[in-house]
Amino acid sequence: MDLLGFPLVEVRPTPYGGRGVFAASPIPKNTVFFSCPGPYAFVIDRAFRKEVCSQCFAYAFDAGRRTWNIKHDAAGACFCSDECKTAWMATDRIAGEKVFKVMETLFKGKRLGREGFLPPPAEISLESINEAWRHPPALHKFAPMSELEHDSARFIASGVIQRANNPDSWPDLLQLQDNELLFTQLHPEMLESHLYIGVFVAEALRIAGIVVDFDVLATARCLLARDYGNVFGLYEEKDDTEMFGFAIYTTASLFNHDCTPNIKKTRDGRALAFRTLRDVAAGEELCISYVEETDSWEKRQARLQEWWFFSCQCAKCHRDEAAAK
Ligand SMILES: C[S@@+](CC[C@H](N)C(=O)[O-])C[C@H]1O[C@@H](n2cnc3c(N)ncnc32)[C@H](O)[C@@H]1O
């Protein structure tokens, strides 16, 4: 697979975990060998909305400010500059603006939401998940939705709008690893939440009068299936400690994990850039670290299992596991 024409890298199968990204030729230390211009779908968490520019993700605190005050109140977005607001409004997000407005109104007025919680199916299998999506729950009038669910709904809505505006990019999203079954087996209670999120987004599009030529609920399901295990946290650029949202970048999610990574990602506005941490030989796999490398083997494995559903096969983990026995 071609990584958007970046000549230093190629995508190939690995013996341990699906595809990986490999150096096609030697790459010297400190080379930015790949970058991804912007996310397919993203959300700025409600709690951070006033502090993060919805267009370029600039963090107000990094600029010595508490909040950004150029706003699009109805759609729940803030901007660091008029240029960013104009860019957000003028491009293909016009449909998005309408959908986000409707979603804000429904959420703030508690106009549509869920009533209580249903128990998950007794056994989580692909069949029981399919069956649940065939019979999604109805939204209730004047029922609340949690802030977390609404943030997830905004994330899914941004992906649905992306598909509507750029149909050619949908296959890029679809080729990401589908983690629906593994995720639902670990978190069965989330199945119902995902169904509500899908129904909520479909209803928001309907109320906004946005007609698309694909099934919104099925699209929401595809996005949710690829969200866990593929998304990147959006962190502020200075210290990389405060996470204010999350985003899915199609090609960037092809990098596997290693507890001794040879590359590092950095966010540059909307873009993600990948840089070598040491000289890399031709044919070596290029891996980032999904977790804190200095944590114990047990802690790293637990986190990778919980959030990425795999047991790490890197050399350091094999060494640490052998030492622990
Ligand atoms: C973000 S995806 C990376 C790309 C993925 N290999 C693919 O083909 O789409 C993360 C998934 O890759 C696999 N993976 C990544 N790093 C791994 C590792 N160190 N050991 C085992 N599996 C790994 C796991 O299946 C994990 O859920």
Q: Please state, in angstroms and rounded to a whole number, the distance separating the CA atoms of residues 258 and 318.
A: 11
Q: Are 229 and 17 in contact (CB under 8 A)?
A: no
ipTM for the whole predicted complex goes beyond 0.90:
yes
Q: From ligand 1's centre to the CA of 47, what distance in Å?
A: 31
**Edge-to-edge strand ranges of the sheet holding 243-248:** 41-44, 243-248, 232-235
Q: From ligand 1's centre to the CA of 256, what distance in Å?
A: 5
CATH class of 9-37+249-294: mainly beta
Q: Does residue 205's CB lie within 6 angstroms of at least one atom of ligand 1?
A: no
Q: Please state, in angstroms and rounded to a whole number, the distance separating the CA atoms of residues 237 and 266.
A: 8
Q: Does residue 18's CB lie within 6 angstroms of at least one atom of ligand 1?
A: yes
183: left (phi over 0), alpha (psi -120 to 50) or beta: alpha
- Across the chain, which has 325 residues, the per-10-residue mean pLDDT values are 73 94 96 94 94 94 92 88 89 78 87 75 94 90 83 96 94 96 94 94 94 96 96 82 91 96 94 96 97 95 94 95 85
Beta bridge partners of 267: 272
Would you state the pLDDT for residue 307?
92
Ligand 1 atom with the smallest distance to the CA of 14 is 6
Would you state the pLDDT for residue 97?
86
3-class secondary-structure state, position 144: coil
pTM value?
Answer: 0.93
Q: From ligand 1's centre to the CA of 116, what distance in Å?
A: 35
Q: Are 40 and 159 in contact (CB under 8 A)?
A: yes
The token pair at 273 is: 């850039």
Q: Please state, in angstroms and rounded to a whole number, the distance separating the CA atoms of residues 204 and 197.
A: 10
Ligand 1 atom with the smallest distance to the CA of 20 is 6
Would you state the pLDDT for residue 222?
98
Taking CA atoms, 293 is separated from 108, 175, 265, in Å, by 41, 28, 15
Would you state the pLDDT for residue 117?
72
Q: From ligand 1's centre to the CA of 313, what distance in Å?
A: 10
3-class secondary-structure state, position 316: helix
Q: Does residue 177's CB lie within 6 angstroms of at least one atom of ligand 1?
A: yes
Q: Does residue 312's CB lie within 6 angstroms of at least one atom of ligand 1?
A: yes
Instruction: Scan for tokens 């509507």, then name that residue.
Output: 164
Kindly list the domain boundaries of the chain, sorted by start residue.
9-37+249-294, 42-227
For ligand 1, atom 4: residue with the closest CA: 254
